[in-house]
């Protein structure tokens, strides 16, 4: 599922030396509590991971960095800057996603190239404020990416009490095989009453289920308006 998230982390590491796994102190050096949390880490830029280290444990205490974080399993939002107890089933490691994050996903595959990628899924975690994300993609073989045959999508999020705006900028010559982006929204605090795509009201876009919609992959601005 997280292959495009991994590809982007590899790209950041290769380009700028940004580590793919970060200790909490790297994430927030101004918070002294992060100096001593050696068994938690940030995966990429937006996912907080806390392994279970004791056998038969039903959960553990962990430190949540400053900011607002979504429990990956329940979508419960917690305020950081404090320690709390987190439940953990035998098959669910404690995971939290930073508010304002946009996590790219592909369909589950047993190996790279097993399935044709028909859509890029973007899990959007609402934040009242600003957020950003990048999605790097290429042909996954050869060295054509060095000649500009890659795709880099940069997303910016702006959240308000009754609005959400997502802007996209694309670089690179690589053309992805999918034509659509599926947006799955987490924590929207309002009911959507209108949708604008590239500054035009678009009544053809409908939510699938409660919080998922599909739009063209080359959009430049999506504007959700609510009440």
Joined tokens for residue 91 = 């098959």
Q: What is the pLDDT of residue 200?
A: 96
pLDDT of residue 113: 72
pLDDT in the model for residue 56: 82
Helices (H) then strands (E): counts for the chain: 2, 18
Query: Within 10 A of 108 (CB to CB), how many other CB atoms are there?
Result: 10
* CATH superfamily to which 18-98 belongs: Golgi alpha-mannosidase II (2.60.40.1180)
Q: How far apart are CA 215 and CA 180, in angstroms?
A: 6
For the chain, the structural domain boundaries read 18-98, 102-226
Cα distance from N-terminal residue to C-terminal residue, the chain: 33
Q: Which two tokens stand for residue 2?
A: 């997280």
Within the chain, which residues score under 70 in pLDDT?
A: none
On whether the 102-226 domain is CATH 2.60.40.1180, my answer is: yes
pLDDT on residue 90: 80
Q: Is the pTM here over 0.85, yes or no?
A: yes
């Amino acid at each position: 599922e997280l292959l495009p998230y991994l590809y982007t982390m590899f790209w950041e590491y290769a380009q700028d030396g940004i580590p793919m796994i970060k200790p909490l102190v790297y994430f927030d050096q101004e918070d002294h509590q992060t100096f001593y949390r050696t068994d938690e880490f940030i995966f990429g830029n937006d996912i907080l991971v806390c392994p279970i280290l004791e056998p038969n444990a039903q959960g553990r205490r962990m430190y949540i960095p400053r900011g607002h974080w979504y429990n990956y399993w329940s979508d419960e939002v917690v305020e950081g800057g404090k320690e709390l107890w987190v439940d953990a089933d035998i098959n669910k490691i404690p995971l939290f996603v930073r508010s304002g994050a946009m996590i790219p996903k592909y369909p589950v595959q047993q190996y790279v190239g097993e399935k044709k990628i028909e859509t890029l899924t973007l899990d959007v975690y609402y934040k009242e404020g600003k957020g950003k994300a990048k999605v790097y993609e290429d042909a996954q073989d050869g060295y054509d990416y060095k000649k500009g045959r890659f795709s880099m999508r940069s997303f910016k999020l702006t959240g308000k009490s009754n609005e959400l705006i997502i802007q996209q900028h694309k670089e690179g010559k690589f053309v992805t095989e999918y034509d659509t982006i599926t947006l799955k929204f987490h924590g929207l605090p309002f009911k959507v009453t209108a949708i604008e795509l590239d500054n035009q009201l678009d009544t053809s876009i409908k939510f699938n289920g409660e919080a998922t919609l599909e739009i063209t992959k080359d959009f430049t601005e999506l504007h959700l308006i609510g009440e």
